[in-house]
Structure 1
C-alpha cells in the first residue's frame, strides 16, 4: 500500500529510481563484458550470443520498469518483488549459458541482494537473499561446469549468505545510531525552541519599555543609556530569531504559500527594521526604489533579505550599504552590496554552513552565531531561488537572491493621512496574559496616540475596537486566534487583527492565513509593530472610503 507521508513517498521513490538507474548501469556493463568476451573467444561466440541478446532485452525491459517507478512512485511490494525476480532471472540465464566465462556476473547477484537490503531494509534483504540462494541452486542444476566445481559453488553459497548477514548487522547498528541521533537532535531543537520562546517574553517587554523611555524627555546621558540597552536587546533579538529560524527549518515541514509582493515595500520595511542597527554601526543604507512585484512568500523572503542586510551592517561598519532589485534573464534579483572588509576566496564555499564565521582580529567582537547565511541558503531551497555571493577582500561583498518570479503590479490605494494622524485615536483591543508585556505594549501604543483596552482572556471580550492585538499563546483557556474569532463574531465583521507569537512564525502564519490575521515574531521591534499597525489603519481607511463611495 502506498505510504501517506509525502516525505516517505519521496525517499522511497528516490531509492527505487536509484536502484533502477544502477540496474541499467550494471546490465550495460554486463553486456559490454559479454561482447568483449565473445571477441576474445571467437570459438565460444555462438554460446555468448543468446546471452548478449537476452541482456539487450533485459535492458529494454529495465528502461520501461524505471519509467513505471517514476510515473507511479510509492511502496509497492509486488513491483519490488518483480524487480528482484527480473534481476535474478537475467543473472541465472547468463551464468547457466555462460558457464565459467560468466563467473564475474556473480558480482551482479551480490549487488542485487545487498542493493535491495541497503535501500529498502532488512526484510527485503532477507527476501533477496532467499531468492539469490534459489537462483544459485537453479544455476547449479542446469550447468555441468558448476556441478563439476562443488567447492567453488559452495564458496558462492557461503558468500551469498555471509555478506548479506553481515550487512544486516551493520544496517541494524546504523539504524539504531541514526534513530538515536535524530532523537537527540529533535530534543535539542525542542529545548532551543522552548528556551527561545520563554526568553522572548521578557525581552519583548523590555524592548517596548525602552521605546517608551526614548520618548520620555530624558537627558542626553539617560538617552545614551537607553540607546545602549536598545542595542543590546537588538543583538539578543537577532540571536533568538536565528535559533527559531533554524529550528523551524530543521523540522522540514514548511510549505511556503506564495502571493504577489511589492519588492519596494518589502525592501523599505527591511530598511526601517534595520535603521537603528545601521545608526549604531555608522552605516548609511541606500535603497534604490523599484516598481517590481514578485510572486513569493512574504515572511521567508523578508527573512532572507533581513539576514543579508544584517550581515552587511555587521561586517561593514562605517561604510555604505546598497540595497535594490535588478532585472535578470531568469526573473528578478534582490541585491545587497557593502563596502566592508570582504571575504577571501577560500572562505566563500564555506560561508553557507551553520556556525561558520570568517574571523579576523579586528572583527572578533562582531555579534552573531554564524547562522544568517545558512538560514538564507535553506530558505532559498524552499522558495526555489538561488543565492550568489561575490566578494573581494578590502573592497566589499555582493550577495544576490536570484530567480524571483516577476508578476504584474497590483493596484494600491492612495494614502489619505500621515502616519501620525492614522494612529491617533485608533481603538485597539490588546489581549495579553503577561502583565509586563501588557503594561509595556499599552504604554507604547498610548504614546502613539492609540486608545487601548486590555484583556487577558476570552471570557469578557466584547470590545468595539478598530484593531485587535493578541498574543498567540494565552494559556489553557483559549489561543489568540480564538479570541480574535470571538470578537469578530460578536461584532459581526472581520476586525483587522495582529497575532504576536514566540512560536514557529511560519507555522503560525500558515495556520492563520485563511483568517486574514497578520503575524509578528517576538521579540517585536517597535518599528515593526508600528509598521503593521499603519498597514492595518490604512486598510480600515480603504474600507471606509469604499463604503462611503
Structure 2
C-alpha cells in the first residue's frame, strides 16, 4: 500500500502546471501601453484591412489560376482564405466577448500569429509561382505584395522586430524570385522592391519613434496634470487656511474693537475738553500730550482695522460729492501745528474742485501721508499741491525730508516696515500708515505713486476722480462753511449713549464748544428731555443702546416725536462692521467710529448749525 501524500506536497494539477502554450507565451511577452494601444487598433481595423488583403489575394489568384502554376495557386488561395477567415474569427470573438476586450495582452499573441502567418503565405506564394507570368500578372503580384507589406509595417510600427519579420517574410522571397528569374525586368523589379522594403522599414522605425515620443509626452503631461492637481489642492488648502486666519483675525478685532474704543473715546474727548476749558499752562500742556497719545492710539487701532478689513474685503466705500478744499482744511489743521512746532513751512496750493470719493477713507489716506511727511522732515517745508488733469485731481504731498533710497522703495507700503528705526521708536510711527494708504488707495482707485531722492525729499501722489459738471453744480456749498467753522456753536444737541464715560466726555466737549447739550443714557431719558420742551438741532446717538436696542430706531422715534423727519442725526459706534452698521449706512445716516475725532464731530454740527440758520425766520 502506497503511503498517502499530504495535499500540500501533492504535485499540482496539469491544468495548473500547464496553462497552455498561448498563455505561457503571452505571459512571457511584455507589451508597453503604446503597443497594447496599437494591438487594439489592429483589431478594430481588421474588417476593412483584411478585406483589402483578401481582395489582393483574389486578384493574384485570377492572374495565375489558369497558368502553369494554376494547381498550386488554387491550393495557396484556399489556405489564404482560411487565414483570412481565422483573422475574421478573432475579430468577431473580440467584438462579442467583453472579457477579451479588457485583456489585450492575451489577444496580442493570436493577432501577431495570424499577421505573420499571412505574411508567410505571401512568401510561400513566391516559391509556388515557379513560372514567369505575363507582365500584367507580375505587376499585380509585385504591387499587391508591396502594398500588403507597407500596410503591415505601419500597423506593426511600435513592434520593431515583428515589423522586420513581417516585411522580410513578404518581400524577401519576392526579391529572391526576381533574382532567380533574372532578366532586366525582374532584376529591375528586385531592386525597386528592395528599396521599397528598406524605405518601409525605415519609415516604420521613424513612426515608432514618433509614437513613442508622443506616448512619453502624454505620460509627462499626465504627470504634470497630476502635479498641478496636487499643487492646486495644496493652494486651495493654503488659501482656505489663510481665509480662516483672516476670519479669525477679523473675529478677534471685532470682539476687542468695541471694548477698546469705548474707553479710548472717553479719554480722547475728556482730554480735548480739558484742553479747551483750562487756562493753566501746565494743564494745557498735559492735556495736549493726552490728546496726542489718544490720537496715536486711535491711529494704530484705525490702521490695524483698516488693513484687516481691506484684506478681508469687508470695506465698502461710501461714495459722495464734496469740495476738496474743505476736506484738506480739516486734514491739515492738526498737522499745521505739528509742522510749526518743528520749524517747518506748511504750504498748500490746490485748485478748487468737487470730487467723488469716500470722505472718511480719503481723509485717512491724506492724513497718513501728511503725518508721514512731517515725521521724516527735519527742516524745510511740507507742501500739498493739487491740479486738475484729465478728469482727475492730482494731489501731491511733497516734503524736503530725508528721502528714501531705491532699495527701500519697493517695501515702504509693507506692514510694520520702517527705515532707520530698529529701536521701534514710536515717535517715528508704527509702520502701518503707508500700508493703510496702499490698501485704501486700491479701494478708492487713487493710484498712489511715490518719487524720492535721498537727502532731498519725497513726493507721494494720488489721483482722485472728479465729479462731473452736473454733480458739481449740485454740491452743497454749506458743507465747506460748516466744516471749517471755528466760531462758537450755537446749536442744541441731544446725546444718547449707554456708556456713561463716553456720554459724559461727549457732553463736556460739546458744552466747551458753546453748544446747549442734553444727555441721556437710554431712550426713556431722551424722550424725557423732549418732554421738558428741549428741541434739539441735532441728534448724536450711539448705535447700540442696550440688548436688541438700535440707535437707528431711536433716531426714527425721536424724529417722530419732534415731527421732524429731516432732523440731522449722527450715529457713533465702536463697531466697524455688522448688520447694525450696514443698516445705518443704508438708512442714509452719517456714521463716526469711536474714538470720535473732534474735527469730524464739529463738521457734522456745523451742518446742523447751518441748517438751523436756514430754517430760522427772518
Once the 2 structures are TM-superposed, how far is the Cα of residue 465 of structure 1 from its aligned partner?
A: 1.7
Map of 2:280 onto structure 1: 219
What is the TM-score when the length of structure 1 is the normalising length?
0.65
Q: 2:306 aligns with which of 219, 238, 245?
A: 245
CA offsets per residue over residues 132-185 of structure 1, 9 Å max, x none? xxxxxxxxxx97656876988886776666554554444434433332232123
What is the TM-score when the length of structure 2 is the normalising length?
0.59
Root-mean-square deviation over aligned CA pairs: 3.4
CA offsets per residue over residues 436-491 of structure 1, 9 Å max, x none? 11111111112222222222233454233211111223332312222112212222
Residues 414-453 of structure 1 correspond to what in structure 2 (within 5 A)? Answer: 419=485, 423-424=489-490, 426-453=491-518
The number of residues matched between the two structures is 404
Cα distance in structure 1, aligned partners of 2:217 and 2:422: 63
Once the 2 structures are TM-superposed, how far is the Cα of residue 358 of structure 1 from its aligned partner?
A: 1.6
Query: Structure 1 residues 163 and 402, CA, compared in 2 at 3 Å: closer, same or farther?
Result: closer
Kept in 2, the 8 Å contact 1:268–1:287? The answer is no
CA offsets per residue over residues 200-251 of structure 1, 9 Å max, x none? 2111111111122123434322322222222222211111110111122122
Cα distance in structure 1, aligned partners of 2:268 and 2:512: 15
Q: 1:306 aligns with which of 359, 367, 377?
A: 367
Map of 2:572 onto structure 1: 500
Query: Structure 1 residues 518 and 505, CA, compared in 2 at 3 Å: closer, same or farther?
Result: farther
Cα distance in structure 2, aligned partners of 1:213 and 1:382: 38
Kept in 2, the 8 Å contact 1:420–1:448? The answer is no
1:231 aligns with 2:253: no
Q: 1:348 aligns with which of 394, 409, 423?
A: 409
Map of 1:293 onto structure 2: 354
Once the 2 structures are TM-superposed, how far is the Cα of residue 533 of structure 1 from its aligned partner?
A: 1.3
Residues 399-478 of structure 1 correspond to what in structure 2 (within 5 A)? Answer: 399-402=460-463, 404-408=465-469, 409=472, 410=475, 412-413=477-478, 419=485, 423-424=489-490, 426-462=491-527, 463=530, 464-478=535-549
1:370 aligns with 2:441: no
Kept in 2, the 8 Å contact 1:254–1:507? The answer is no
Q: 2:603 aligns with which of 511, 531, 534?
A: 531
Secondary structure of the residue that 1:386 maps to in structure 2? coil
Residues 127-276 of structure 1 correspond to what in structure 2 (within 5 A)? Answer: 145=157, 164-165=225-226, 167-275=228-336
Map of 1:541 onto structure 2: 613
Secondary structure of the residue that 2:477 maps to in structure 1? coil
CA offsets per residue over residues 423-442 of structure 1, 9 Å max, x none? 23x22111111111111111
1:483 aligns with 2:548: no
Cα distance in structure 2, aligned partners of 1:167 and 1:422: 68
Kept in 1, the 8 Å contact 2:540–2:572? The answer is yes
1:398 aligns with 2:463: no
Cα distance in structure 2, aligned partners of 1:274 and 1:291: 21
Consecutive unaligned residues of structure 2, counting only runs of 5 or more, are: 1-153, 161-207
Once the 2 structures are TM-superposed, how far is the Cα of residue 310 of structure 1 from its aligned partner?
A: 1.5
Kept in 1, the 8 Å contact 2:298–2:595? The answer is yes
Cα distance in structure 2, aligned partners of 1:329 and 1:263: 17
Kept in 1, the 8 Å contact 2:246–2:312? The answer is no
Bigger Cα Rg: 2
Of 191-200 and 507-516, the range deviating more from structure 2:
507-516
Cα distance in structure 2, aligned partners of 1:263 and 1:146: 78
Kept in 2, the 8 Å contact 1:423–1:449? The answer is yes
